[in-house]
């Protein structure tokens, strides 16, 4: 742990006297979440909770890049916590609960990056449910504005995976 | 086995709430599986976290083993509680859990499969010398059914080997009806269970449904928690349950409870379970019906008379703990009755009435417990069963419990949707019910017919 108990108490006092409601602090493997108004839903599960074995859903894949924290901590609470969608962008939502993979295999190049131009039907990612792999494809042509899910993490049904800015084709030309 | 820390709730509605409460009291964290239709439900709010496992259709959410196991692993759970219905009696869930290192809070897959097949369950009871309703083994076609019915004697009941909940179950009054009914029952069984195998039994006109609650641990210890009487049924769906039964004598009670324990011990059962019997009131004899390898809807009546928490016991057993009580420590204290409040309009043939609940005021009274997932403003989705709440009243004796239940139903205020509260209230005040002079056919043949 990177902080002593006194450090944490000091941070709590600082938050108490500040105008902020919440504080998230990450230092290496250490995470601290403070809130003035009780728990926020996304942070209620303690990462190190009660000696729960930390299971990686990525067993056997991507071993060099395994997540440090349990998947529970990183995945957003539910579809309703989706980030606000900027005008001119549309969300690509997960059609199922499963594990989100950005590449065809560990170490391979991701199918898309932020800024990538995709054609309708291009592969964007893979969702795995107990060794069953489903390919998620672009519903429209356009530019990937944002990758909203983390590689190797669980995504829920209806969770936004990508934001796509339609109307831009793979050659970068604006479609009329 | 290591103690459990975080439980994944693979169910919805009141039983999800019930399991979350039991987990909390044991100091366990919970993650609730929710379909897209249940994201704002009470279990979703009560659990430490809710995970949307799929769209509203049960096949893609609450029946989706892949999504449930993936979600349980992805949220760091070490155990899965399936509740009742949905995947509770599917051995595949236990197998998938075991494969991925998750503990299923329930019996072993092979025990579920053994008792889930009604023919193998009957065979086990027969080997143990437990009386069975005179009947056949599997009948493959109409000709076999005709000759089996001939030796059993009409009227007969055709039943699905994979059955439950009354599906694929039909009465045949005379040989000339058998062909039609056989084909109907086969079709229904195939549609409901993907298994059209049938067998037949003698039809018992004056029957009561008596079931024995048992608890058995992984160390070979088993106890019974006495019986429940669930004879107020409509189309094989239970509506009112009570414990103890008003018609079971101490001698008969000892016999059925021991029979239930013999079955549980014989199959090495581990968990909470229920062995169901039919009591033929004309002959004073009981027969083995089936075993339910799950926690049951009506488990609270047993809790109220024994003071035990069945869901907590179930979790402790799954964690490998030995039963903390001996048979002598399980005693009956008082009488308990449960009414199932459904979102249905009884006058319109129990038409389901989903929709938005306006006012929702369950009774708050001493000796009355309400298990529910409903709140004011909650919308009852049309995709699942219609159970809104279970009202459980306990009294020093049956009269005391009944009086409390009447008052509780009277105080229960629901606006916005139709419920079975008025219907339940009128059943409770019927002289036949008050006198305990009913059978499993009474509600449909006497009470509803007499209106």
CATH label of the domain that carries residue B180: 3.30.1490.20
pLDDT of residue B379: 95
> What share of residues in chain A are helix, strand, coil (percent, to 5)?
15, 30, 55
List the catalytic residues of B. Answer: 294
pLDDT of residue A122: 96
| Cβ–Cβ gap A98/B70 under 8 Å | yes
pLDDT of residue B15: 98
pLDDT of residue B449: 86
| Number of domains within chain B | 3
Q: Are residues B178 and B225 in the same domain?
A: no
Domain end marker among B160, B187, B202: B202
- Show Cβ contacts of residue A152 under 8 Å, excluding neighbours closer than 6 positions: A56, A57, A58, A61, A62, A65, A66, A67, A71, A99, A100, A101
Search chain B and give the residue with CA nearest A128: B70
Which stretches of chain A are assigned E, i.e. beta strand?
22-27, 30-35, 90-93, 98-101, 117-118, 123-129, 132-137, 142-147, 154-155, 160-166
Q: Are strands B207-216 and B271-280 parallel, antiparallel or unpaired?
A: antiparallel
CB pairs under 8 A between A and B: 105
pLDDT of residue A45: 41
Domain end marker among B90, B105, B120: B105
Q: Are residues B318 and B371 in the same domain?
A: yes
Task: Give the mean pLDDT of chain B.
Answer: 95
- Show Cβ contacts of residue B329 under 8 Å, excluding neighbours closer than 6 positions: none
* B451 occurs within a structural domain: no
Q: Are residues B257 and B357 in the same domain?
A: yes
Q: Are residues B215 and B357 in the same domain?
A: yes
Search chain A and give the residue with CA nearest B101: A55
Search chain B and give the residue with CA nearest A56: B74
* B112 occurs within a structural domain: no
Q: Tell me the per-residue pLDDT of B15-34, one tens digit each, with 9 for 90 and over.
A: 999 999 999 999 999 999 99
B145-168 average pLDDT score: 87
* B120 occurs within a structural domain: no
Q: Are residues B180 and B213 in the same domain?
A: no
**Alpha carbon distance B299, B211 (integer Å):** 11
Q: Tell me the per-residue pLDDT of B417-432, one tens digit each, with 9 for 90 and over.
A: 999 999 999 999 999 9
Q: Which of A67-76, B206-215, B235-244 has the lowest mean pLDDT?
A: A67-76
| Cβ–Cβ gap A52/B6 under 8 Å | yes
Q: Which of B104-108, B200-204, B208-212 has the lowest mean pLDDT?
A: B200-204
According to the per-residue pLDDT averaged within each range, which of A85-89, B68-72, B198-202, B282-286 is highest?
B68-72
For residue B1, pLDDT over 70 is answered with no
Phi, psi of A19 (to 5 degrees): -90, 5
Instruction: Tell me if residue A68 falls in helix, strand or coil.
Output: coil
| Cβ–Cβ gap B70/A154 under 8 Å | yes
Instruction: Inform me whether the C-beta atom of residue A84 falls under 8 Å from chain B C-beta atoms.
Output: no
Q: Tell me the per-residue pLDDT of B167-182, one tens digit each, with 9 for 90 and over.
A: 778 999 999 999 999 9
**Alpha carbon distance B291, B3 (integer Å):** 28
For residue B219, pLDDT over 90 is answered with yes
Q: Tell me the per-residue pLDDT of B59-87, one tens digit each, with 9 for 90 and over.
A: 999 999 999 999 999 999 999 999 999 99
pLDDT of residue A73: 35
| Cβ–Cβ gap A44/B75 under 8 Å | no
CATH number at residue B429: 3.30.470.20
pLDDT of residue A80: 44
* B127 occurs within a structural domain: no
* B129 occurs within a structural domain: no
- For residue B60, list chain A residues with Cβ-Cβ distance below 8 A: 96
pLDDT of residue A2: 58
* B319 occurs within a structural domain: yes
B80 to chain A, minimum CA–CA distance in Å? 14
- From first to last of the 176 residues of chain A, give the pLDDT tens digit: 456 767 777 777 777 777 777 777 777 666 777 776 543 433 334 333 333 333 333 333 333 333 333 333 333 444 444 567 898 999 999 999 999 999 999 889 999 999 999 999 999 999 999 888 999 999 999 999 999 999 999 999 999 999 999 986 655 555 54
Peptide bond before residue B244 is cis, with ω within 30 degrees of 0: yes
| Cβ–Cβ gap A98/B5 under 8 Å | no
Q: Are residues B180 and B258 in the same domain?
A: no
* B406 occurs within a structural domain: yes
Instruction: Inform me whether the C-beta atom of residue A157 falls under 8 Å from chain B C-beta atoms.
Output: yes
According to the per-residue pLDDT averaged within each range, which of A52-66, A70-84, B126-140, B221-235 is highest?
B221-235
Q: Are residues B155 and B213 in the same domain?
A: no
Q: Are residues B183 and B225 in the same domain?
A: no
**Alpha carbon distance B105, B23 (integer Å):** 12
Indicate whether this model's pTM tops 0.90: no
Q: Are residues B187 and B221 in the same domain?
A: no
pLDDT of residue B234: 93
Q: Are residues B412 and B340 in the same domain?
A: yes
CATH number at residue B67: 3.40.50.20
Domain range holding B138?
A: 134-202
Q: Which of A68-77, A92-101, B95-104, B284-293 has the lowest mean pLDDT?
A: A68-77
Domain end marker among B181, B202, B223: B202
- For residue B65, list chain A residues with Cβ-Cβ distance below 8 A: 130
Residue B292: which of B312, B304, B310 has the closest Cα?
B310
Residue B67 is nearest to which of A53, A80, A96, comparing CB atoms? A96
Q: Are residues B282 and B429 in the same domain?
A: yes
Q: Are residues B311 and B432 in the same domain?
A: yes
* B291 occurs within a structural domain: yes
Search chain B and give the residue with CA nearest A55: B76
| Cβ–Cβ gap B74/A79 under 8 Å | no
pLDDT of residue A63: 34
pLDDT of residue A23: 75
Structure token pair of residue A102: 């950005």
């Amino acid at each position: 742990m990177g902080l002593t108990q006194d450090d944490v108490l000091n941070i709590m006092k600082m938050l108490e006297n500040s105008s902020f409601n919440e504080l998230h602090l990450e230092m290496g493997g250490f995470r601290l979440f403070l809130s003035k108004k009780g728990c926020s839903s996304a942070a209620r599960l303690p990462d190190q909770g009660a000696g729960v074995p930390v299971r990686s859903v990525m067993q056997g894949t991507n071993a060099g890049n395994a997540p440090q924290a349990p998947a529970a901590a990183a995945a957003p609470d539910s579809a309703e916590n989706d980030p606000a969608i900027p005008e001119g962008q549309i969300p690509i939502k997960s059609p199922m609960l499963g594990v989100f993979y950005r590449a065809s295999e560990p170490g391979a190049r991701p199918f898309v990056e932020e800024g990538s131009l995709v054609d309708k039907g291009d592969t964007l990612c893979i969702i795995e449910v107990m060794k069953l792999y489903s390919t998620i494809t672009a519903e429209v042509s356009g530019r990937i504005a944002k990758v909203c899910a983390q590689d190797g993490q669980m995504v829920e049904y209806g969770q936004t995976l990508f934001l796509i800015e339609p109307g831009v084709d793979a050659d970068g030309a604006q479609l009329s | 086995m290591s103690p459990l820390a975080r439980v994944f709730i693979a169910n919805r509605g009141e039983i999800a709430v019930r399991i979350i409460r039991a987990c909390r009291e044991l100091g366990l964290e919970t993650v609730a599986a929710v379909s897209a239709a249940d994201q704002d439900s009470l279990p979703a709010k009560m659990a430490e976290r809710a995970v949307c496992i799929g769209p509203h259709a049960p096949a893609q959410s609450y029946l989706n083993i892949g999504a449930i196991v993936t979600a349980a692993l992805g949220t760091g759970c070490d155990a899965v509680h399936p509740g009742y219905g949905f995947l509770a009696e599917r051995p595949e869930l236990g197998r998938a859990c075991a494969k991925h290192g998750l503990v299923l809070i329930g019996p072993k897959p092979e025990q579920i499969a053994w008792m889930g097949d009604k023919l193998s369950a009957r065979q086990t009871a027969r080997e143990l010398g437990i009386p069975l309703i005179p009947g056949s083994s599997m009948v493959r076609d109409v000709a076999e059914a005709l000759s089996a019915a001939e030796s059993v004697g009409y009227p007969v009941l055709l039943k699905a080997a994979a059955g439950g909940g009354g599906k694929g179950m039909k009465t045949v009054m005379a040989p000339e009806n058998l062909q039609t009914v056989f084909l109907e029952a086969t079709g229904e069984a195939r549609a409901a269970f993907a298994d059209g195998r049938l067998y037949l039994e003698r039809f018992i006109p004056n029957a009561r449904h008596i079931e024995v609650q048992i608890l058995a641990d992984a160390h070979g210890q088993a106890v019974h928690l006495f019986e429940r009487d669930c004879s107020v049924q409509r189309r094989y769906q239970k509506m009112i349950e009570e414990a103890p039964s008003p018609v079971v004598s101490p001698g008969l009670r000892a016999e059925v409870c021991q029979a239930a324990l013999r079955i549980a011990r014989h199959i090495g059962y581990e968990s909470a379970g229920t062995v169901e019997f039919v009591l033929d009131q004309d002959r004073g004899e009981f027969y083995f019906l089936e075993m339910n390898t799950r926690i049951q809807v009506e488990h609270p009546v047993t809790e109220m008379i024994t003071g035990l928490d069945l869901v907590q016991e179930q979790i402790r057993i799954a964690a490998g703990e030995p039963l903390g009580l001996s048979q002598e420590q399980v005693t009956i204290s008082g009488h308990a009755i449960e009414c199932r409040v459904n979102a249905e309009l009884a006058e319109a043939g129990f038409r389901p009435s989903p929709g938005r609940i306006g006012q929702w005021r369950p009774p708050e009274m001493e000796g009355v417990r309400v298990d529910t997932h409903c709140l004011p403003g909650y919308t009852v989705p049309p995709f699942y069963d219609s159970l809104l709440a279970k009202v459980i009243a306990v009294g020093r004796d049956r009269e005391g419990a009944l009086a409390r239940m009447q008052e509780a139903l009277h105080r229960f205020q629901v606006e916005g949707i139709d419920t079975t509260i008025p219907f339940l209230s009128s059943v409770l005040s019927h002289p036949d019910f008050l006198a305990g002079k009913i059978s499993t056919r009474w509600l449909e043949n006497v009470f509803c017919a007499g209106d």
